[in-house]
């Protein structure tokens, strides 16, 4: 019986030792995992900082729009240039023409600058309306089949009828014929303006410009009365 007790106590002691060892191993394993987790958490912010440093700045919408416009306006590159002795295709021809125009403009500016001259810019708004209105009037008088009514041209002519610089003497008889054909509110308004001009100029004396206006206003009233 004593022998059996000793064997039982020895087995029990070894089991307890093994269980204690297993508990210690688990604690060490948990502690090791916890340390690794803390180390990894410390490394993550550093990686994020590095990524932020290398991250490209975002372009705002305005920059993107400007780049798109530049891409649209920029001439397309010719991928297959014309061989020697061959005619350039339309796209190559346009590119060459643009380049030649730029070169000519630069040469002209450089030449004018060397001569001490400046290029005077002509405002098309001061030239074109008068010429277009007179062409419109001439077409009405000479080629009625090709003529088309244009409200803008008629308004300009009726407003400038008393200005000898804008409606020269050689064009005034044609304008009188045009006015004679007016109907409705345009005719009534033309009469009212002529009467108002005669009244404002009075009995004189008049300078040459006023005298010309008075003469034209009287002709208009005589025609439309």
- What pLDDT score does 83 carry? 53
- What pLDDT score does 78 carry? 42
Closest by alpha carbon to 221, among 191, 186, 177, 178? 191
How do residues 131-169 score in pLDDT, each as one tens digit?
A: 999 999 999 999 999 999 999 999 999 999 999 999 999
The answer to whether residue 21 scores a pLDDT higher than 70 is yes
Q: pLDDT higher for 79 or 15?
A: 15
- What pLDDT score does 111 carry? 84
CA 42 vs. chain centroid, Å, equals 52
- What pLDDT score does 192 carry? 94
Query: What is the Cα Rg of the chain in Å?
Result: 48
- Written as six digits, the tokens of 206 are 């008049």
Mean pLDDT computed over every residue of the chain: 76
What distance in Å separates the CA atoms of residue 216 and residue 17, rounded to the nearest whole number?
132
Q: pLDDT higher for 55 or 93?
A: 93
The predicted model scores a pTM of 0.44
Q: What's the pLDDT band for 88 if we cut at 50, 70, 90?
A: low
What distance in Å separates the CA atoms of residue 84 and residue 100, rounded to the nearest whole number?
19
Q: What's the pLDDT band for 105 if we cut at 50, 70, 90?
A: confident
- What pLDDT score does 1 carry? 47
Q: What's the pLDDT band for 3 if we cut at 50, 70, 90?
A: very low
How do residues 27-85 score in pLDDT, each as one tens digit?
A: 778 777 777 766 665 555 554 545 555 555 555 555 566 556 555 544 444 444 445 55
Mean of pLDDT values over 182-198: 93
- What pLDDT score does 68 carry? 60
Query: Could you tell me the CA-to-CA distances from 131 to 137, 155, 166 in Å, in that order?
Result: 10, 14, 9
The answer to whether residue 103 scores a pLDDT higher than 60 is yes
Q: pLDDT higher for 204 or 141?
A: 141
The answer to whether residue 102 scores a pLDDT higher than 50 is yes
Query: Could you tell me the CA-to-CA distances from 138 to 113, 144, 147, 179, 183 in Å, in that order?
Result: 42, 9, 9, 13, 20
């Amino acid at each position: 019986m004593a022998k059996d007790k000793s064997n039982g106590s020895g087995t029990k002691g070894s089991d307890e030792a093994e269980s204690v060892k297993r508990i210690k191993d688990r604690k060490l394993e948990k502690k090791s995992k916890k340390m690794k987790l803390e180390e990894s958490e410390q490394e993550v912010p550093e990686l994020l900082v590095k990524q932020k440093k290398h991250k490209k700045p975002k372009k705002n919408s305005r920059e993107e729009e400007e780049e798109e416009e530049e891409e649209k306006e920029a001439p397309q590159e010719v991928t297959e240039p014309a061989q020697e002795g061959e005619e350039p295709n339309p796209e190559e021809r346009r590119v060459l023409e643009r380049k030649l125009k730029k070169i000519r403009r630069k040469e002209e500016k450089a030449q004018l600058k060397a001569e001490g001259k400046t290029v005077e810019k002509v405002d098309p708004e001061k030239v074109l309306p008068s010429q277009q209105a007179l062409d419109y009037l001439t077409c009405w008088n000479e080629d009625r089949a090709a003529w088309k009514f244009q409200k803008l041209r008629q308004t300009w002519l009726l407003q400038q009828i008393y200005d000898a610089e804008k409606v020269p003497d050689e064009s005034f008889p044609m304008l009188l014929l045009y006015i004679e054909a007016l109907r409705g509110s345009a005719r009534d308004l033309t009469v009212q303006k002529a009467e108002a001009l005669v009244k404002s100029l009075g009995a004189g004396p008049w300078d040459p410009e006023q005298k010309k206006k008075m003469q034209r206003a009287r002709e208009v009233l005589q025609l439309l009365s």
